[in-house]
């Protein structure tokens, strides 16, 4: 897969909804109902972070939900890429980008949303062909004003800002011309997931899906 094709497919995922839920799930038995609740609320693109032992099983379960588009986050190594693809992930997300990781995603035909925090990092990815990127960690790197600043000289690149993004600041990011969507964990808070409050999560998802962009 070429970087250009990867970016085209990643952009399509980003355009499915204003918010991509960033999910850290410890129990795979909760994966199906959680994915269904988010999809029912209008958030079909789901990023399952590889931060728990259950993450790959969570991806497998979520991949069974009709209407869901499941990706793997926190991709760091070639093994991560291969395992995520085998589990059923249809896209990947990384906090940063190394040549080895980019090579692995391209070799395994896994569209990647590679992380960039600075103009130089965004330019390096653009030079390789990646026009769809993740701005991370968004708030720690200056938030929406910083992303707007990067967009002025590099309008070719579109971003999904993640990291410190919440309902209270999502609108500011989504108003930017170089933002396709935002990534956030607030739509699936741990207490609601643990309680199995799927109706509550669907309500949060509906609120997020209605954000303007």
Task: Reply yes or no on whether 134 is catalytic.
Answer: yes
Q: What's the per-residue H, E or C state across the chain?
A: CCHHHHHHHHHHHHCCCCEEEEECCCCHHHHHHHHHHHHHCCCCEEEEECCCCCHHHHHHHHCCCCCCEEEEECCCCHHHHHHHHHHCCCEEECCCCCHHHHHHHHHCCCCEECEECCHHHHHHHHHHCCCEEEECCCHHHCHHHHHHHHHCCCCCCEEEEECCCCHHHHHHHHCCCCECCEEECCCCCHHHHHHCCHHHHHHHHHHHHCCCC
Catalytic residue among 85, 106, 134, 158: 134
Task: Reply yes or no on whether 86 is catalytic.
Answer: no
Catalytic residue among 8, 47, 121, 172: 47
CA dihedral 10, 95, 185, 106 (to 10 degrees): 30
Residue positions annotated with a catalytic role: 47, 134
């Amino acid at each position: 897969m070429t970087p250009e094709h990867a970016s085209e497919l990643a952009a399509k995922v980003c355009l499915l909804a204003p918010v991509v839920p960033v999910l850290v799930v410890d129990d795979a038995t909760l994966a199906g109902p959680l994915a269904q609740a988010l999809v029912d609320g209008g958030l079909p693109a789901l990023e399952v972070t590889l931060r728990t032992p259950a993450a790959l099983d969570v991806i497998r379960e979520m991949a069974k939900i009709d209407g869901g588009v499941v990706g793997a986050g926190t991709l760091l190594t070639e093994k991560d890429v291969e395992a995520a693809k085998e589990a059923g992930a249809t896209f990947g997300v990384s906090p940063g980008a190394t040549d080895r990781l980019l090579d692995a995603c391209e070799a395994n035909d896994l569209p990647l949303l590679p992380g960039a925090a600075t103009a130089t990092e965004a330019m390096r990815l653009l030079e390789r062909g990646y026009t769809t990127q993740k701005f991370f960690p968004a708030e720690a790197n200056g938030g929406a004003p910083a992303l707007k600043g990067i967009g002025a000289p590099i309008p070719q690149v579109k971003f999904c800002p993640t990291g410190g993004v919440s309902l209270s600041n999502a609108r500011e990011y989504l108003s930017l011309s170089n933002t396709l969507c935002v990534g956030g964990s607030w739509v699936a808070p741990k207490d609601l997931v643990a309680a199995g409050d799927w109706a509550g999560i669907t309500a949060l998802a509906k609120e997020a899906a209605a954000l303007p962009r």
